[in-house]
Structure formats: C-alpha cells, structure tokens
Amino acid sequence: MAHTTPRVRLVAWGGERQAEVQSSDPLEPLIRLDTPAWASWLSAPTTRRFAYPIYDERVGYIRGWMTVRKERRNRGSEYWVAYRRVGKRLCKIYLGRSGQVTQSQLGSAAGRFLAMADAQGPAVGDELGSVAGRR
C-alpha cells in the first residue's frame, strides 16, 4: 500500500475560511486546524509531514502546495519547516515547534512562497509551468 502525505484542505464556512487535515487513512476523522486535536496530531511522533495549499486569492484557485516537515535539530528538539520549490531553488521557511504552528502562520508562509513565485516572473512558480517544463 502506497503511503500518501496528509493534506490540509481549505473550506469556507459563512465567509470564514477554515482548514482541516485529511489524513492518508480515509477512515480517520478530519482534524480542524487550531484545535486541541490539531495540537496533539502535530505533536504525535508518527506525524512527520503534511501538505498545505498555496491559495492565490487574486485568481481564485490553488497555485501549488508547500510541504511542511518536522525536523530534529542537534539539541534534540523538533521543529516544523515549510518547503517549496520556486523556480530552480528549494526555499525554506521556519515555522517553529508544534505549539506554534497555526492556520494563520501557515497562511502567511504560503503567502510568502506565492510572493517569491511572483517575483520570479509569470508561471515560474505554478505547478502547471513546472510540469510543462519537465517534458
């Protein structure tokens, strides 16, 4: 059985955007971000990564995904870091410990990656541009 990375999906409830984690196991319940269930999911030793959408409000769709990974540092602590390829460079944004990772912070990191892609020029940071360039 292939292992898939859990993904955060954005949903709108009454004009307010909420985010939920869809686990790789379809039988597990959705976990809403910024709840106690979210905090314990992030802190669990089995949770190592997830994907977060980079939503571009100007065009109204997701332009790609950033990968969020839990990394161990030399001093033994674990931290969350977001990664996204922008052009030919792999960019990294530090997010902090499990208790510091919030929906707002993830949205800010996604916005920073979007700004980096826009600074590179049109379609460089888009998934469609990346796939077309590989052929």
> Is 103 a domain residue?
yes
Q: Alpha-carbon distance 130 to 119, whole Å?
A: 16
Tell me the residue range of the domain where 82 lies.
Answer: 7-134
SS3 per-residue string spanning 48-78? CEEEEEEEECCCCEEEEEEEEEEEECCCCCE
Taking a C-beta distance cutoff of 8 angstroms, is the pair 23, 11 a contact?
no
Q: What is the pLDDT of residue 79?
A: 95
Q: Six-digit token pair at 97?
A: 């410990």
> Is 83 a domain residue?
yes
Digitized pLDDT (tens) for each residue of the chain, 135 residues in all: 456 889 998 886 666 778 999 877 778 889 999 999 999 999 999 999 999 999 988 888 889 999 999 999 887 789 999 999 998 899 999 999 999 999 999 999 999 999 999 888 765 445 444 433 333
Output the pTM of the full model.
Answer: 0.81
Q: What is the pLDDT of residue 10?
A: 84
> Is 1 a domain residue?
no
> Is 101 a domain residue?
yes
> Is 127 a domain residue?
yes
Q: What is the pLDDT of residue 130?
A: 42
> Is 2 a domain residue?
no
If one counts the domains in the chain, the total is 1
